[in-house]
Amino acid sequence: MAVTLNASTTTGLVQSADTSGTVEIQSNGTTRLTVASGGVTTTGNTSIANLTATGTFGGGVITSGTAVASTSGTSIDFTSIPSWVKRITVMFSDVSTNGSSEYLIQIGTSAGIQTTNYLGQATYVGAGVAGVNFSSGFLVRSDDSNEVSHGLATLCLLNSATGLFVMSYATGHSNENYMAIGAGSKTLSGTLDRVRITTVNGTDTFDAGSINILYEG
């Protein structure tokens, strides 16, 4: 069924019995917005912000990535993140590695992952406190082999003009009496389109759990 709104009829509505599934919105008989199977197009001075290529509104919509089993490899990448995204949540469940290197969350652009000028600190909370400053990424404390982490980290775009992101996280360890917390910031040179989860040394291998992201405009 094709539907045209504000058409040149007395009712302002035209319905056509076909299989196109097209919706048109007109102004004084001129089509200004078309919603079809190929996406959304506009004509004239009409514009719509925060719209993806498939016609899904970016603003206010939470999109889930595809969960990745963190059971192998030295890094896990989530790519092709839309340019309108302003908040990303990284989620961990039962995650561990075969080594003692801390986890890192890194962000990047089409030019690649950026590995410098991350600011902030992460620490343990539990039987003791031990803080570490950020450097090459947002550091998620986990410095024992097979330490099992659960939780999430949230990254938010503070200033779109400068590419400034802020981040905070909390994870709990199910195999010991600790949790980890941290917060910081990173100015990204370019538009964010990817997130990487890896380790400080870059060689420890993930051996359990799953990781996913949510993103929204």
pLDDT of 195: 98
| Report field, pTM of the whole predicted structure over 0.85 | no
Beta strands 194-199 and 206-216 are unpaired
The full set of domains in the chain, from first to last, is 2-42 (no CATH), 62-216 (2.60.120)
**Mean pLDDT within 209-214:** 98
Compute the radius of gyration of the chain from its Cα atoms.
Answer: 23
pLDDT (tens digit per residue) in 99-142: 999 999 999 999 999 999 999 999 998 766 778 999 999 999 99
Residue 51 is classified by DSSP as B
pLDDT (0 to 100) of residue 38 = 55
- Strand (E) positions, 43-102? 62-64, 68-69, 76-78, 87-97
Q: Is pLDDT above 90 for 59?
A: no
